[in-house]
Amino acid sequence: MPSRWISWSIIVFWIGMMVWLTGAELYHRFGTRPRLQDTLAASAQAGPVHWNITEILRRDRPPKEGEAPEERPLGTAVTEVRLDARSGKYQLAQQIHLHRLFNTGFSLNLTSRSEVNLFGRLQQISFNATVPEVNLHCELVGRPQGPDKLRVQAFFRFGSEHHEVQQTISYDGTDLVLSSLCPLDRMPGLRPGQTWKTPMVDPVESILGQSFSSGNLPKAEITRPLVTVRVWDQPQGLLWRGEFVPCLVVEAVQGGRSMKIYVRESDGLVLRQTAELGSLSPLTLAVTRDPRKSHGVIP
């Protein structure tokens, strides 16, 4: 029989191990979030990535098992991350063209660019959107102001009307921002059960939506509300290039909006994203990586 102090040492050791393992598991699941610099570093060598934007049509009947949803084309997007060796900054570029703006006869051209340093902190963001059919144009430039604020200058033109606004919003410059129209190229290091908070934006609804309902300028208000993001506990199969690929599903829900991102489990590559929009229009968008196009240039 071991002595009493040895027995207590064994008990304390096992209790300590259980606490450490439980704490480590909770930290990995709930105490961390994907780091922006990891995403940028993984994407910088990929070159331009092409995406197809479609609308998922609703059926009058529930889909049969294994039945793919019907989708119709809405537009395309190109994303790219470059590392500028001279400045040591990452350059993020996104270019979107919607040839049909949902249920209207309008088109949309949208371009955004961001500069992020090697530590994953935002240095500057710019945004440009036009709807040629109604002469609607929006330009926006944002720069950090202190550790948790973003100073935004925006210019709106709608027909003959012009409006300019300056606004300061709360913003963590290291956040991975989820966009309904433009997915991230990669999300490395995800783990089942992981949760974190991050901003989620719908560029069309936040910048352009009110111009079609009111005939006046869009409200000069820019927000990036935080949402809780969760990685599903079990991978899901996604049909990709004719075969089912195991994917981690990243889900974010906010009010009437929800988003799911399908991330290939083997290497963190984002293959597809779906977004159910809220007040703008009751529709579901899908943005899918185009495997046929592996190169191109964003001007």
* Span 262-277, pLDDT tens digits: 999 999 999 999 988 6
Residue 263 within a domain = yes
Question: Residue 117 in contact with residue 88, Cβ under 8 Å?
Answer: yes
- Are 135 and 53 part of one and the same domain? yes
Q: Is 294 buried (19+), middle (13-18) or exposed (0-12) by CB count in 10 A?
A: exposed
- Are 102 and 235 part of one and the same domain? yes
Structure tokens at 287: 């943005």
Residue 53 within a domain = yes
Note down the domain range covering 23: 1-31
Category of 256 on φ-ψ map: left (φ > 0), alpha (ψ -120 to 50) or beta: alpha
- Are 15 and 109 part of one and the same domain? no
Averaged pLDDT for residues 154-158? 80
- Are 161 and 186 part of one and the same domain? yes
Question: What's the structural domain count of the chain?
Answer: 2
Residue 176 within a domain = yes
pLDDT score of 134: 80
- Are 23 and 152 part of one and the same domain? no
- Are 88 and 5 part of one and the same domain? no
Category of 215 on φ-ψ map: left (φ > 0), alpha (ψ -120 to 50) or beta: left
User: What would the pLDDT profile of 86-121 be if each residue is shown by its tens digit?
Assistant: 888 899 899 999 887 766 778 889 888 989 888 888
User: What would the pLDDT profile of 239-265 be if each residue is shown by its tens digit?
Assistant: 888 889 999 999 988 776 788 999 999
Averaged pLDDT for residues 275-296? 72
- Are 58 and 141 part of one and the same domain? yes
Residue 294 within a domain = no
Residue 58, pLDDT above cutoff 80: no
Beta carbons within 8 Å of 247's beta carbon, 6+ residues apart: 235, 236, 237, 238, 262, 263, 264, 265, 271
- Are 126 and 182 part of one and the same domain? yes
Most confident of 20-29, 156-165, 220-229: 156-165
Q: Identify the H or E element spanning 250.
A: strand 243-254
User: What would the pLDDT profile of 115-141 be if each residue is shown by its tens digit?
Assistant: 988 888 888 888 888 888 888 888 888
Give start and end residues of each alpha helix (H) in the chain.
4-30, 36-43, 203, 209-214
Residue 213, pLDDT above cutoff 60: no
- Distance (Å, rounded) from C-alpha 266 to C-alpha 7? 44
- Are 24 and 78 part of one and the same domain? no
- Distance (Å, rounded) from C-alpha 71 to C-alpha 238? 16
- Are 49 and 71 part of one and the same domain? yes
Residue 209, pLDDT above cutoff 70: no
Residue 205 within a domain = yes
Query: Position of tokens 């929006």?
Result: 138
pLDDT score of 298: 45
- Are 188 and 148 part of one and the same domain? yes
Q: Which of 118, 173, 175 is nearest to 149 (CA)?
A: 173
Query: Position of tokens 């703006």?
Result: 101
Q: How is residue 45 annotated by DSSP? A: T
pLDDT score of 159: 77
Residue 295 within a domain = no
- Are 14 and 117 part of one and the same domain? no
Q: How is residue 207 annotated by DSSP? A: I
